[in-house]
Amino acid sequence: MATILTFLKPNDGVFNDHATRVMGEAFDAAAKALHDTGQPVIVYETIAARIIAAARKGERDPVRLRDAGLAGLGYESKAG
């Protein structure tokens, strides 16, 4: 399975270690929420792009980043 680092591009900005770690946690949690069962690459690209966009705006909470990644995919977040 891909990691968030797979989807980072030079124009996404520079993230420190903490930001990269929580983005990775959020990406992994989003994949797990989708049961990580053979999703098309475009699904992971969309999740990563949304997480990166939220992180670029300063979000660092992994749960909120996960929810941002899953927004619009028909997934309803459960608290925690």
Site of tokens 């903490």: 18
For residue 34, being part of any structural domain is answered with yes
For residue 5, being part of any structural domain is answered with no
For residue 1, being part of any structural domain is answered with no
Q: Which helix (H) or strand (E) holds 27?
A: helix 17-33
For residue 9, being part of any structural domain is answered with no
Task: Note down the domain range covering 31.
Answer: 15-70
For the chain, what is the domain count? Answer: 1
pLDDT single digits (tens) 20-56: 999 999 999 999 998 866 788 899 999 999 999 999 9
Residue 77 has pLDDT above 70, yes or no: no
For residue 2, being part of any structural domain is answered with no
Task: Give me the pLDDT at residue 76, please.
Answer: 66
Q: Predicted confidence band at 12 (pLDDT cuts at 50, 70, 90)? A: confident
For residue 77, being part of any structural domain is answered with no
For residue 39, being part of any structural domain is answered with yes
Q: Record the pTM.
A: 0.86
